[in-house]
Structure 1
């Protein structure tokens, strides 16, 4: 008796489901083999390749900054490492001179970034952080006037008022027996600085952790698996953003900020009032819209709102996190705390002290540890390697910050590395907390001032001590769901008011 012949319906089901699945599997396998051999054929050290995730299977398991540090340590002898961002070619740069070429010398080849948001998320897609040329150049040029030296000097009274609020808050919480969590404390302060300097809004978050902008920044701080997937897509797989309708910011904050922005614009007289755009960020954004109208161009209101939101997040988040790490390190390093205090007293409380500032913590805790760029055309990296157009390049800033070749004993908090007499020992472009070149951080100076004023005021008024049951600085767990290099647990110290006060 012969084998039974499958019925026609079963044959049809086979061709409809099994055969296409087989074809797709074979294609994926072929693609995987090609990816596995790509960097090897070019003689480039490279990471193992997952058939679906490429080199990115670490996402949501560890912070990208942690991964970048590990790459630098693993491939320390190589100036670059080949990776796959899912199925897209990528090259991680571990060498300061190559970093200079990509960020500065050949910046025109690397004008655009890898990360991007989609059409379903206009707010996340239209700001300086995510947008590409030519819109990026236009926005950057118009907003540069907000961050001039004279403008920052004009905000000294604001800084002084807010650090007084900060000292009041610490004293008040101490009297109430409250264990002070550092990041929320400094987030309150930094939100006030951004709110008043950039938007002209009177803020009291430093004193009581409330206010319309602080409601938003508290939402920015919340990470769950869905938002982690959203950010992973925006930074590493933008094609998925529209499919899953991911958004850069929580959608409730976008709706809320629309209302806040509309109220701020109406208070300034709307888009009909002619202004010079030099007062603050809000004025500069209003002028962008007004100038576009004069030139018979249509500038979407979402462009203004998106850039207002990115300045709020970028300004408060980086400053508050830097202050958190710095104060926490000082609690465990009383020697440096005393040096800083003595120098501030000697300089008659000069709050812009030149010998110690935020840069010392930005070496060890670079908030965004990599600088992503995309090659617009084929590019010769060095005499051994040419990469094709559209290859993604990551300058491994935090990896170089943790490389003992550039910073001996990198895990140690040693501010003297940056003293004037030692500055010449730092290899150019091995220290990149704000990036370099045309796309370096536009808010660098306001961020540094925000940290300097607060740090000086805190150290002049309080001695800082570690507390039981909190991790040592080198044992701080880093956020895994988010992409910025932020602490994953609350961090607290003890503030003891100095006796002379």
Structure 2
């Protein structure tokens, strides 16, 4: 009798909990689809979403890498210039037409001043105050303050620091060679350590040798800070999309230890230099000048700096008074550190892989390298000589097309926007976001015939005029483009040149052709690493 009563009560409780779960599930479902009528109401085509994950199902469950997902989004309506998709439940406009990209990214930039995301800079100051995260007038002020630090003349003054790191890297590789045999190498490890050393010297005035001192503090902190997999990726998503929730649960992107290390690194260096009147051709020195208002804009000559270099716009050249606080400067150093540590090294990896996979391309590049080396007559590579290597620029430009470091770029609407496009109304409200699928444009046969072929000749003097404006965007578009494009190209070209003076990139038994991309995270990276043989030249 008692057993029956207990069983009866249990069934009632189970029924109540089941009912409650059903009710909660229903409301969660309704919440997840509450925005799914956004585009339908405006008569705009959209990719059909799935509850809770929108159009990100394959990404959430890691069935597809971000680059392939973005290509799929780009190709969903191949004749449309814009349409909608859903990042989870967030409605987002996908802009795929070059003329419309120009209109939004340049001509109507005032309507799309910001990147998306709402980072609470008081809770996450080192990330919230960097140039990428800043919004509105504060972004304008910071851009114009920093812009003079990234001109060609400033790159020229820092080139010797980069060149020394190139020398150290090649010397290390030569010592690793045994009996003249090819050296099996994982390029990501080599190039990440190289870029780490470049940043250490060119930004902070530190001499670091990450290839010999494998576990140096600077490298370990960089490795940790740029790893956005697993829990770190979830934290990043919450900080960007739900800053109030992140603050409530005290979720931060960087540990207190890392933040303290970085603040101390930047400010101990600045104070020491100011006290001792030390001047060095590096980023810290330029930031000291910027803080004092002594950096000025110079006439730019981008003709010989490379096809991919982006010009500074009038927004960056405007004069603004900017009183930089300690965390403002530290945040800029941090974003320079993060971008240089991972993004530049990834471009180097893909370039090395493609040279191994395309020996005809490498043969042509080797001839140019040898010619420049002979012209130098035993002297070190100069910034001017590097700019006088058109085929190297073509190879890097094609590498950036094929494997763009930024899969997509975004904007957030800051003023109501309404425009007619081929008779259709594009209506974007304040706070709504849009996405420009860079990788989709770069792999569209309409703009780049036979896009799956690695072909530097696309960027030759005879052919580059055929590239439709605003279809090639490795460093973004408009005033919000990448401020560090010159530096990234300079160090990438330099290390490729130095390696090719001593080695050739060869396919090894571990080289993956075609290269498969990792399905975790939003950064572009190889699934099983970038393995090649570095064959000593005789």
Report the TM range for the smaller structure's normalisation: 0.7 to 0.9
Alpha-carbon spacing, 1:269–1:335, altered in 2? closer, same or farther (3 Å): same
**Aligned twin of 2:191:** 186
CA distance in structure 2 between the aligned counterparts of 1:48 and 1:239, rounded to whole angstroms: 30
Query: What's the CA shift for 1:415?
Result: 1.0
Alpha-carbon spacing, 1:280–1:475, altered in 2? closer, same or farther (3 Å): closer
Corresponding pairs, count: 481
Alpha-carbon deviations, 1:222-274, whole Å to 9, x = none?
A: 3441012123334555555334544344554323222322331232136xx99
Residue range with higher mean Cα deviation, 187-196 or 347-356: 347-356
Alpha-carbon spacing, 1:207–1:451, altered in 2? closer, same or farther (3 Å): farther
**Aligned twin of 2:313:** none
What is the Cα-based RMSD across aligned positions, in Å? 3.2
CA distance in structure 1 between the aligned counterparts of 2:215 and 2:274, rounded to whole angstroms: 26
Alpha-carbon spacing, 1:238–1:421, altered in 2? closer, same or farther (3 Å): farther
Correspondence 1:475 to 2:510 = no
1:466 to 489, 499, 507: 507
2:167 to 147, 164, 168: 164
Alpha-carbon spacing, 1:234–1:407, altered in 2? closer, same or farther (3 Å): farther
**Aligned twin of 2:258:** 253
Correspondence 1:336 to 2:338 = no
**Maintained 8 Å contact 2:365/2:392:** yes
Query: What's the CA shift for 1:498?
Result: 0.9
**Maintained 8 Å contact 1:241/1:247:** yes
**Maintained 8 Å contact 2:35/2:90:** no
Alpha-carbon spacing, 1:159–1:261, altered in 2? closer, same or farther (3 Å): closer
Normalising by structure 1, what TM-score? Answer: 0.86
Query: What's the CA shift for 1:191?
Result: 1.7
Alignment of 1:390-405 (within 5 A): 390-405=431-446
1:430 to 468, 471, 488: 471
**Aligned twin of 1:356:** 392
Correspondence 1:411 to 2:436 = no
Alignment of 1:3-152 (within 5 A): 28-30=28-30, 35-57=35-57, 58-59=59-60, 61=62, 62-118=64-120, 119-152=122-155
SS at match of 2:463: helix
**Maintained 8 Å contact 2:442/2:471:** yes
**Maintained 8 Å contact 1:68/1:399:** yes
**Aligned twin of 1:379:** 417
Gaps of 5+ in 2: 1-9, 294-319, 377-384
Alpha-carbon spacing, 1:236–1:360, altered in 2? closer, same or farther (3 Å): farther
Gaps of 5+ in 1: 1-9
Correspondence 1:368 to 2:370 = no
**Aligned twin of 2:269:** 264
Normalising by structure 2, what TM-score? Answer: 0.81
**Maintained 8 Å contact 1:191/1:217:** yes
Query: What's the CA shift for 1:376?
Result: 0.9
CA distance in structure 1 between the aligned counterparts of 2:204 and 2:39, rounded to whole angstroms: 48
